[in-house]
Structure 1
Amino acid sequence: MTATLGVTPTPSQPTPDRPAPSRIRSLPSHPVFWPLIALLVLVVINVIVTPGFLDIRIVNGGVFGNPVDIARNSAPLILVAVGMTLVVATRGIDLSVGAVAVIAAAVACTRIVASPDESAASTVIMAVAWALGACLLLGLWNGLLVSVFGIQPIIATLVLMVAGRGLAMLVTDGQITTVADGAFGFLASGIVLGLPVALLIALAVVAVTVLITRRTALGMLVEAVGINPEASRLAGVRSRTIVWTVYVFAALCAGIAGLIIAANTNSVNANSLGLWIELDAILAVVIGGTALTGGRFSLAGTVVGALLIGTLTRTITNVGIPSEANYLFKALVIIVVCLLQSPRARASLRTLRPTGRKARAHE
């Protein structure tokens, strides 16, 4: 009896019974694939409607153009969505991020207005510190309700969502607070290294988050808590601390976003600043491939989802869709993208196409 010497082929090696896997064929199953396709389609539509849509120009050392404007305007949503991603990964949800954003803006603007005699830079730094300190407390409050008292996340954060704008109105005395401070406006309109400061802040937060969650054990622990909180607790994971941490981080991201939004207009309106941004953030997270059931998350997908929403907003304006129908158009586009991502919908589409054997049988 003879034996044939050789190496057993790995699953990635072609065999008669198992063909070599194709990266191209597996691309549609990637969570970021369909959002990127949708983003590309929106860009093509804009180019058709406005031929110079992708034109980039450099003025006084700064890069300007529609793509840069979309990225800059999407910076607050990117920040909020990144924080929301980690919350969703732990099987949670944070409906209070819009309220946290307006509270941060209200605290910062009132502090700046109350200190007109101090230097602009020091005043803005102290105002930002006060605002982020308030966000830290609000994040601790949400984490306390969810991780310690065991209140459902949607209910716990709904409390602050309802009360947060009331707190912001108390801070601003129910008035639209206007800030005449160039240093504060620099957060939204400033240019560093040719790019908008707001975009650089968002990219820095994303980079730090990716570094911490993918280069340390924190990302794995967040996913473990989201997959099975009880099992992770029994395995020695401090699930309560993990949940508390992600809610604090989400509040800080929302606070930074609120500061950028307020700096863009040099004012804060407690009734409208950051209104419904929590829903856009949840959409960006879901479009990016992170399941609301918790577990694995995709920060890259979240960023793509946020850019998709920002591009869609600009597309609605460019195409000339009436303002009465823009929310309906936005909802339809998002539904289509979510359906394309759905494994069940893709499986249904595959059943409609004849397979190779069936196609040959009909010939």
Structure 2
Amino acid sequence: MSGFIEGMNRDQTTLFPERLEDWVSEDNLVRVVDELDLGALGFHRHAAARTGRPGYHPAVLLKLFIYGYLNRIPSSRRLEREAGRNVEAMWLTGRLVPDHKTIADFRRENGPAIRRTCAEFVELCRRIGVLRGDCVAVDGSKFKAVNNRDRNFTKAKIASRLAHLEKEVGRYIEEAERADRQETGEARAEKIAHLTSRYHRARLEMDRMVRLRRELETAPDEQISLTDPDARAMATRAQHSGHVGHDRDQLTPMAGAAKAALRRDDLHILADKGYFSGGEILACHEQGITATVPRPDTSGSRVHGRYVKADFAYDPDKDIYRCPAGEVLSYRSTLEQQGLQMRHYWSTACPDCPLRNRCTTNTLRRIGRWEHEHLWRRLTPADGTPRPR
């Protein structure tokens, strides 16, 4: 082994046993948990009961939960294994190994308290100056939900289920009538009773589907999950799904929540092009939030070698566009498109323009401009890419 880095001999003994305290640094994040007022935060069973078998203190389970969150270990079974083999987890729990069911129950019963703990931690970081909070970045993500697909309902799924139940009810009625004609005695009575029971169960299920359909009419995204209300069916493969959620309407809610949590009068928020929405950017501006969001390129002109909107220079003083050929595109009309007031510009010189083939395949080249386009134009250059800050 000469010439290599050598580890400790497994059979070597030490004069003084090492302490668990020595294995965790003094600035470890989870040490903050010891200073939290668990009762004020709303944790259940923060005080020991006088009778019954002693349970785990909420601080022990909270430490383990935070450790799993920081190290990407969301599973309660994996946290149970880590508590028995990971030195850091051993220090956090005092070498206690809670059962995975205990960990899962703690997370389920103390959801609001855990959220308040996270808010308390953000407030602590803000007070000691670790968190400036003048700029926030947001992005979307998918999390595995605690909800079976059979307990998630959409309009299409409820309609399919109702159609299936109607066929079942009709079949039970036909079988009952056939048994009434062809069978006699106890066999007939037993079959009629069995079919009647199944018929009533199907009718109850139909009533439940009708109630869910009424609730679905008020659901914002036309989905209902019975086990986990926040769970949503989403496409995880490369295919289109009409009921998959998107980020486009989430910029203002996320920015507003961040502004409230950080207690700031102004805020700068960064997001990718999936969050781009003129209405959302305007709403952020009205709340004192500066949004930097790149505009997605939905035009195929650049791919085909033609001029794009960025090649047309806008003159705000004259309210005109000037094309690459030097012609003026004047304001002509205002139309509402997808809830936005769009101003349209074009020039009558297009038919005789020598650059027409590089500009448009139509008779005229029209440019549309949102009435509040200056809000995102001042944050992004002409090609829609955010300026470095």
TM-score (normalised: structure 2): 0.21
- Which protein is richer in helix relative to its size? 1
Q: Which has the higher contact order (CA 8 A, sep 6+)?
A: 1
Larger Rg: 2
